[in-house]
């Protein structure tokens, strides 16, 4: 039903909002003129190709599989249209692959696709990857600041140059297509993808869209367009991904159509006007309906109103979330207007089902032809039919192009321009370089941390500095600046010093995350003051001026850290060129200023941890630092003391995906004992023996007093579990996490090896459970040493758990003597090494 009342802003009843569908007529969504004109020559080529393709080939074209689940032989057999590499899907066994390994894989897929055996015509495959801040999955590539930092730079020419550099680096490894730019307009910074957005302000994102798209693809209508220096770009995620309620990833954007267009839609108009060749559908919903299944948006708005003529690709099994769909079957999404399914691991079933649906008429031949036509047109425009195999194309295998000095210089400039100076008491900055400088904090010498998520792996983090051969840590940049001027720079992560420093620089902030893994309940960085606050205060009390460099994917409530710092810089996620920070912090050796700060907040900075979302021009706008804020050296940068009351209490401060921390269950979870056929019994007190004498329990000290639990099975069977106190409404829905590479991580120490089987599992309500034999994994852990046991969530799914209704995320059963200690149980990114299921 199309409702006209949606044109009115505000004052809408909820019912009216929920009924909304895009309004008829072009008033709200003006037609956009694409610079990519319809080309009769290409259309005729497509006609000829379509006439010679089999039905099976056509169905293959509309399916994209992940390289981890697809062999070249399967490309030959199923004739898939595209392959993607997800954030953890590099060829080979390591979390990353070298350019040569990528290129060899590109050739293998391409050659399989070009094999004409059994077909009248071969269609070249197209390889897509998330080059979202440089060619970030590839060893040795330049990692640019994440978009949030580029937004603060407010420089369209700069992002254009970055996009052009990234396109060239993509060419080195044989990739044709990037899933970028992310044109999201995040409105609630609790969202884990906030940093993928340039700004909360649609105008800034809209101004960037053409700069990015022409940087990646070239300018439509010129020789440069999709030339051998360029790649296919994707504007994502259409539409409303940054507008979900509560900032929940893959959530529901509840708003009227006018707001949908004004905040989240105009950026797509700009992208289409710049000739973007691909758009990716959003995982999220609009007013309760998944975008992947919403024909009024995918066809009504995107095709009929905005006139988008490129290809519409789905997101990672995003179609499977549409009502009535599964990862292996979703005619609804295809009929709604999707041209290509992203079906990483589900492609085979999806292929068979889609083929069946075309045969049965559930999907019309016309719809299939239309989708294939769009895909072929993109491939033709990109020159894929006329190009040689990937390794023979321009820049292929050119190692010097990856992390090229020009690209690194550009990234370093971007770092300088992205820094936002929030506080500069007594005009501490710029610093003289010839001093004794103490550098502290776990972000100081940690390229993976300064680069954030989507860096060498999906979640990022945990990669040593040696895995960034051309990168520079922030400390290394500081050291170079200071030592060349005759000063000294000492690194001590914990901030201890023997010789009193003249100034301390403390680099700290959020650890890397991607997507839903970064969603949070509130915006306090460290409400309990357990991280760097003590260090900052110690330095402050000693009278040492402190410069805080804050690494984060979003503005966070850091009032206490601001108070304990003399100067404070929001550095976002700068990427591999850490030297950009010292460029701005220090004067030249002769005292002259090198680079002043120029960054300005493209996201409003919160006044409290629990304030309603703060967006420029939004209601109740009362941020601590407004949109556009950012000091220069010469500004009077003194900041008065701020309130340190976060407004949060107790367990609210602990991350929501942590169920057991420092030896204690995190509310609402309770650690209980369950005997076969019996009720649950809480383990009362710090130590004791269970009522029937099955288990002895106690505490231990790892880093702090009583921060671990120790359990000893005395002989009889017993199960220990983390149960929630409440009813079925409190069940955990872990479907998204099981679909991505998330794992249950337990920090444990074996005190006595198991004498018989030990089973680890989850419960999904009173009559639902799945267990996995972890005996062998436990026996492999060296006795008496702390170890992290990680079980991918999909293993529970495979064992039959209903991941939508987890009532106990941890359940451990032993039937014979066994003793172990554990400190933490939480969700974490599964590393490439521990992707296998125990017992497999």
Residues identified as active-site = 315, 515
Label the pairing between strands 708-713 and 664-665: unpaired
Position 602 contacts ligand BGC (CB under 6 A): no
* Whole-Å CA distances, 447 to 192, 573, 574, 579, 832: 20, 10, 9, 11, 19
How many residues make contact with ligand BGC (CB under 6 A)?
Answer: 15
Q: Give the interface segment with ligand BGC, choosing from 6-14, 34-42, 84-92, 747-755 (CB under 6 A).
A: 84-92
Quick check: 341 binds ligand BGC (CB under 6 A)? Answer: no
Q: Which stretch binds ligand BGC (CB under 6 A): 477-485, 523-531, 737-745, 797-805?
A: 737-745
Please select the residue that binds ligand BGC; options are 22, 72, 81, 87, rule is CB under 6 A.
87
Backbone torsions φ then ψ of 679, nearest 5 degrees: -75, 170
Establish if 191 lies at the interface with ligand BGC (CB under 6 A): no
Q: What are residue 787's phi and psi, to 5 degrees?
A: -150, 150
Q: Which stretch binds ligand BGC (CB under 6 A): 550-558, 631-639, 712-720, 734-742?
A: 734-742
Please, what is the minimum distance in Å from the beta carbon of residue 718 to ligand BGC?
35
Point out which span in 81-89, 169-177, 760-768, 810-818 binds ligand BGC (CB under 6 A): 81-89
Instruction: Calculate the dihedral angle through the C-alpha atoms of 275, 573, 446, 507, rounding to the nearest 10 degrees.
Output: 160
Per rule CB under 6 A, is residue 88 in the interface with ligand BGC? yes
Whole-number minimum distance, CB 282 to ligand BGC, in Å? 8
Segment 219-238, which members bind ligand BGC (CB under 6 A)? Answer: 236
Minimum CB distance to ligand BGC smaller for 333 or for 507: 333
Q: Are 277 and 310 in contact (CB under 8 A)?
A: yes
State the minimum distance, in angstroms, from the CB of residue 205 to ligand BGC. Answer: 16
Is residue 741 a contact residue for ligand BGC (CB under 6 A)?
yes
Class of residue 833 by CB neighbours under 10 A (exposed 0-12, middle 13-18, buried 19+): exposed
| Of residues 89 and 214, the one with the C-beta less far from ligand BGC | 89
Contact status: 181 vs ligand BGC (CB under 6 A): no
d(CA 255, CA 245): 9
CB 321 within 8 A of CB 47: no
Judged by beta carbon, residue 344 or residue 580, the one nearer ligand BGC is 344
Q: What is the 3-state secondary structure (H, E, C) of 463-487?
A: CCHHHCCCCECHHHHHHHHHHCCCC
Quickly list H helices, 141-238.
147-153, 156-172, 202-217
Could you say whether residue 179 binds ligand BGC (CB under 6 A)? yes
Give the one residue of 86, 397, 441, 599 binding ligand BGC; rule: CB under 6 A: 86
Provide the Cα torsion 267, 269, 270, 271; round to 10°.
90
Which span sits near ligand BGC by CB under 6 A: 96-104, 502-510, 551-559, 736-744? Answer: 736-744
Return d(Cα 608, Cα 620) in angstroms, integer: 13
Give the whole-angstrom CA distance, residue 398 versus residue 407: 14
Q: Is 561 in the site for ligand BGC (CB under 6 A)?
A: no
> Is there binding between residue 577 and ligand BGC (CB under 6 A)?
no
CB of 692 to ligand BGC, least distance (A): 43
Q: CA–CA distance from 210 to each of 152, 200, 417 (Å)?
A: 18, 18, 20
User: Which of 622, 799, 829, 736 minimizes the C-alpha distance to 248?
Assistant: 736
249 lies in the binding site for ligand BGC (CB under 6 A)? no
What is the C-alpha separation between 251 and 265, in angstroms, rounded? 17
Q: Which position among 293, 545, 740, 761 is part of the footprint of ligand BGC (CB under 6 A)?
A: 740
* Residue 316 makes contact with ligand BGC by CB under 6 A: yes
* Nearer CB in complex with ligand BGC: 316/550: 316
Q: Establish if 512 lies at the interface with ligand BGC (CB under 6 A).
A: no
Characterize the bridge pairing of strands 688-689 and 695-700: antiparallel
Region near ligand BGC per CB under 6 A, out of 80-88, 582-590, 813-821, 832-840: 80-88
Cα–Cα distance, 194 to 708 (Å, whole number):
34
Cα 274 to the chain's mean position, in Å?
26
Kindly state whether residue 443 participates in binding ligand BGC, applying the rule CB under 6 A: no
Pick the binder of ligand BGC from 189, 257, 315, 417 (CB under 6 A).
315
458 binds ligand BGC (CB under 6 A): yes
Rounded CA-CA distance 177/217 in Å is 10
Stretch that binds ligand BGC, among 85-93, 560-568, 587-595, 815-823 (CB under 6 A): 85-93
Q: Return the ∠ at Cα 615 (arms to 611 and 618), rounded to 5°.
A: 95
CB of 346 to ligand BGC, least distance (A): 12
The H or E element that residue 360 is part of is helix 347-360
Interface with ligand BGC (CB under 6 A), residue from 739, 775, 813, 815:
739
Rule CB under 6 A: say whether 455 interacts with ligand BGC. Answer: no
CB of 566 to ligand BGC, least distance (A): 39
CB atoms within 10 A of CB 748: 22
Q: Can residue 177 be called a binding residue for ligand BGC (CB under 6 A)?
A: no
Give whichever of 251 and 663 is closer to ligand BGC, judged by the CB atom: 251
Task: Give, rounded to a whole angstrom, the gap between the first and last alpha carbons of the chain.
Answer: 51
Instruction: Quote the DSSP letter at residue 431.
Output: B
The answer to the question of residue 82 lying near ligand BGC (CB under 6 A) is no
> Does 155 interact with ligand BGC (rule: CB under 6 A)?
no
Interface with ligand BGC by CB under 6 A: which residues?
84, 86-89, 130, 179, 236, 315-316, 458, 515, 739-741
């Amino acid at each position: 039903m199309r409702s006209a009342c949606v044109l009115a802003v505000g004052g809408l009843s909820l019912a009216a909002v929920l009924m909304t569908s895009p309004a008829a007529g072009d008033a709200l969504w003006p037609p956009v003129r694409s610079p990519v004109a319809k080309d009769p020559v290409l259309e005729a080529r497509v006609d000829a190709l379509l006439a010679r393709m089999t039905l099976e080939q056509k169905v293959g074209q509309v399916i994209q599989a992940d390289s981890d689940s697809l062999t070249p032989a399967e490309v030959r057999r199923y004739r898939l249209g595209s392959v993607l590499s997800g954030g953890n899907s590099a060829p080979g066994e390591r979390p990353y692959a070298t350019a040569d390994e990528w290129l060899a894989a590109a050739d293998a897929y391409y050659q399989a696709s070009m094999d004409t055996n059994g077909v009248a015509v071969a269609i070249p495959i197209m390889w897509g990857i998330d080059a979202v801040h440089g060619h970030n999955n590839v060893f040795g590539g330049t990692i640019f600041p994440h978009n949030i930092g580029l937004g603060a730079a407010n420089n369209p020419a700069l992002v254009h140059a970055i996009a052009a550099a990234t396109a060239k680096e993509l060419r080195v490894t044989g990739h044709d297509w990037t899933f970028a730019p992310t044109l999201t307009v995040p409105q609630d910074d609790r969202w884990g993808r906030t940093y993928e957005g340039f700004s909360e302000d649609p105008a800034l994102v809209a101004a960037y869209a053409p700069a990015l798209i022409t940087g990646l693809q070239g300018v439509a209508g010129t020789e440069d367009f999709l030339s051998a220096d360029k790649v296919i770009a994707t504007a994502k995620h259409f539409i409303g991904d940054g507008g979900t309620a509560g900032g929940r990833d893959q959530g529901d954007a509840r708003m009227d159509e006018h707001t949908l267009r004004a905040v989240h839609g105009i950026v797509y108009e700009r992208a289409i006007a710049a000739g973007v060749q691909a758009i990716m559908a959003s995982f999220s919903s609009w007013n309760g309906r998944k975008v992947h299944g919403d024909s009024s948006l995918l066809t009504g708005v995107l095709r009929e109103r905005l006139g988008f003529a490129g290809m519409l690709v789905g997101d990672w099994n995003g179609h499977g979330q549409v009502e009535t769909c599964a990862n292996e079957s979703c005619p609804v999404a295809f009929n709604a207007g999707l041209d290509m399914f992203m079906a990483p691991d589900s492609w085979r079933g999806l292929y068979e089902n889609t083929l069946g649906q075309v045969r049965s008429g559930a999907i019309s031949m016309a719809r299939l032809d239309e989708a294939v036509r769009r895909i072929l047109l993109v491939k033709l425009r990109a020159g894929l039919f006329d190009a040689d195999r990937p390794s023979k194309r321009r820049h292929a295998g050119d190692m010097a192009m990856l992390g090229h000095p020009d690209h690194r210089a550009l990234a370093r400039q971007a770092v300088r321009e992205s820094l936002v100076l929030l506080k500069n008491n007594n005009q501490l900055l710029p610093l003289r370089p010839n001093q004794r400088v103490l550098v502290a904090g776990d972000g100081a010498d940690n390229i993976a941390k300064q680069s954030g998520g989507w860096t060498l792996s999906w979640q990022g983090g945990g990669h040593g500095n040696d895995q960034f051969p051309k990168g520079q840590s922030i400390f290394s940049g500081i050291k170079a600046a200071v030592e060349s001027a005759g000063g000294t720079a000492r690194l001590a992560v914990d901030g201890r010093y023997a010789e009193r420093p003249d100034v301390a620089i403390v680099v700290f902030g959020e650890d890397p995350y991607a997507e839903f893994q970064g969603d949070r309940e509130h915006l306090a960085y460290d409400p309990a003051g357990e991280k760097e606050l003590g260090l900052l205060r110690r330095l402050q009390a000693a009278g040492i001026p402190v410069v805080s460099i804050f690494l984060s994917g979003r503005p966070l409530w850091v009032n206490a850290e601001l108070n304990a710092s003399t100067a404070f810089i929001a550095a976002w996620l700068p990427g591999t060129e850490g030297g950009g920070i010292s460029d701005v912090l220090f004067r030249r050796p002769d005292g002259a200023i090198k680079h002043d700060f120029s960054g300005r907040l493209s996201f409003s900075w919160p006044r409290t941890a629990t304030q309603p979302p703060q967006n420029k021009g939004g209601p109740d706008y009362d941020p601590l630092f407004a949109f556009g804020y950012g000091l220069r050296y010469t500004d009077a940068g003194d900041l008065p003391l701020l309130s340190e009351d976060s407004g949060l209490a107790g367990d609210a401060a602990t991350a929501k995906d942590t169920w057991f921390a420092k030896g204690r269950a995190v509310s609402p979870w309770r650690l209980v004992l369950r005997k076969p056929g019996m009720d649950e019994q809480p383990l009362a007190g710090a130590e004791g023996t269970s009522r029937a004498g099955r288990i002895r329990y106690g505490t231990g000290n790892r880093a702090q007093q009583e921060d671990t639990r120790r359990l000893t099975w005395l002989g009889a069977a017993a199960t220990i579990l983390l149960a929630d106190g409440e009813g079925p409404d409190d069940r955990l829905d872990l479907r998204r996490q099981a679909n991505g590479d998330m794992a249950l991580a337990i920090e444990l120490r074996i005190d006595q090896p198991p004498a018989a089987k030990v089973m680890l599992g989850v419960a999904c309500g009173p009559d639902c459970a799945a267990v996995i034999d972890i005996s062998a994994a436990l026996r492999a852990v060296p006795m008496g040493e702390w170890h992290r046991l990680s079980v991918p969530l999909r293993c529970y799914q495979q064992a039959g758990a209903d991941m939508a209704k987890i009532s106990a995320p941890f359940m451990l059963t032993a039937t014979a003597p066994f003793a172990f200690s554990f400190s933490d149980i939480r969700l974490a990114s599964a590393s490439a090494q521990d992707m296998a299921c125990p017992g497999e």
